[in-house]
Amino acid sequence: MTVRPVFGFATPVEPVAVGAVPQYLTTLWQRLTREQAATGPLTPARMLNLVLYGEDDAVPETAERLAASVAALHPGRLIAVQVDRGRGGTEMTAHVSVRCVPDPTGQRQVCSELVLLTVPAALRRYVPHALCALLLPDLPVALWWTGTPRVEDPLYQRLTADLASRVLLDSRAGDQPPATLRALARWCAERPTVALGDLAWARLHPWRQAIADCFDQVNSSPPPARIRRVELISDGVGVPADALLLLGWFASRLAWQVKGASQEPDAVRVDFLCDGRRVQARCGWVTDAQALPTLAAIRVEVALGSEAFGFEVHRGHDVNVVHTHVTPPGGPRSARTAGLPEPRDEALVARLLNASLPDPLYRAALDRAAQIAGALA
């Protein structure tokens, strides 16, 4: 193990036999408690079991960053499972350490445990067995499935059915966003009680906030029900999952029914009906950009009598902010800037872990996004 810890205080990363991990941690805690004079007061806070699952070489680094992000907010035990599809053998290995971060007062350190479990390809299906022995009792279990969401994968199904009460994934990570969203929507429909956290949805929060704010900015703002046109623009080729989710959010909140969708060379068009009124949406993209397409801007046009009320929300050049421009009829144009969440996935995971119940808004948006994806198929 060569990963460099990023903590205020960390024990060395030690290889430990998988079956000996619980006893090793117990002994380690006893030693740390005795040595508090040297390290300062330590608080072994335990609120959560967090399982990180991945199949690429980045898992150890991701686990380090994740531990740094969640250690203070959701202390507990982090078990990072790395399935090495290129590795043979019949034994799992574990590397264990305790990581402490100063609490906001700076007077004590809050400590979590990190277990990195390396799994040969042949033992992949036994991952749930190994986890059962490693989880802290009586604490909720959250699973972060990194990479492409594969809800049909038997391992995913076992982990989510038997172990995890919360599941985190990124619907943007797949190379076929419409197919991914449809599969996710089906999976959610069969599991109404599972709290699913979608990083793509979490990234949309500041966009949703900025859009909602636009309707409260002037004394006589038109209600969102009068939206007549929405245009979403993405960087990269194709319609990203987050754009579809945002459109699904509009549709679910404002009771728009999907009437049809069509594909163009640089966009898709979606027609909605709401109380007999037509609402048009266009999801376009610029073709010079990144590996993963992402939402870059949204323009909304709202009917206000014979006039139009328009606003635009777009990502800033430094990508960490969204800018909003509102142009109400007869009023001064106003601008506003708000922060976007940390771009790092680990920070989003830390935020999503706050939710322990299914998010009905997300599920409704996902359903509509899946309908749109179905209309495009």
List contacts with other proteins (CB under 8 A).
43, 45, 47, 71-75, 101, 103-105, 107-108, 110, 205, 208-209, 211-213, 215-219, 223-225, 249-250, 253-254, 324, 326, 328, 331-332, 334-339, 359-361
Alpha helices in the chain (DSSP H): 21-34, 36-39, 59-70, 127-134, 154-158, 177-190, 199-203, 205-214, 241-253, 345-352, 360-376
Q: How many CA atoms lie within 13 A of 23 on its CB side?
A: 5
Q: Give the nearer residue to other proteins in terms of CB position, either 53 or 249.
A: 249
CB of 283 to other proteins, least distance (A): 18
Helix, strand, coil content of the chain in percent (nearest 5): 35, 35, 35
CB of 98 to other proteins, least distance (A): 15
CB of 244 to other proteins, least distance (A): 17
Residues 159/83, Cβ–Cβ less than 8 Å? no
Q: Give the nearer residue to other proteins in terms of CB position, either 215 or 285.
A: 215
Q: Give the nearer residue to other proteins in terms of CB position, either 94 or 348.
A: 348
Compute the distance between CA of residue 96 and CA of residue 21 in angstroms, rounded to an integer: 7
Q: Give the nearer residue to other proteins in terms of CB position, either 55 or 359.
A: 359
Could you tell me which of 201, 298, 216, 292 has the C-alpha nearest to residue 252?
201
CB of 153 to other proteins, least distance (A): 29
In the structure encoding, which two tokens stand for residue 214, read together?
A: 């636009």
Q: Give the nearer residue to other proteins in terms of CB position, either 145 or 311.
A: 311
CB of 167 to other proteins, least distance (A): 19
CB of 100 to other proteins, least distance (A): 11
CB of 129 to other proteins, least distance (A): 31
Q: Is 215 helix (H, G, I), strand (E, B) or coil?
A: coil
In the structure encoding, which two tokens stand for residue 157, read together?
A: 């199904």
Distance of CA 361 to the CA centre of its chain: 15
Q: Is 332 helix (H, G, I), strand (E, B) or coil?
A: coil
Compute the distance between CA of residue 10 and CA of residue 23 in angstroms, rounded to an integer: 18
Q: Give the nearer residue to other proteins in terms of CB position, either 118 or 171.
A: 171
Q: Give the nearer residue to other proteins in terms of CB position, either 137 or 330.
A: 330
CB of 59 to other proteins, least distance (A): 24
Q: Give the nearer residue to other proteins in terms of CB position, either 150 or 253.
A: 253
Distance of CA 247 to the CA centre of its chain: 18
Q: Give the nearer residue to other proteins in terms of CB position, either 110 or 370.
A: 110
Report CA-CA distances (Å) from 275 to 214, 228, 254, 269, 371.
23, 12, 10, 20, 19
CB of 320 to other proteins, least distance (A): 9
Q: Is 261 helix (H, G, I), strand (E, B) or coil?
A: strand
Compute the distance between CA of residue 221 and CA of residue 239 in angstroms, rounded to an integer: 30
Report CA-CA distances (Å) from 280 to 178, 299, 329, 370.
19, 12, 21, 17
Could you tell me which of 249, 250, 248, 273 has the C-alpha nearest to residue 260?
273
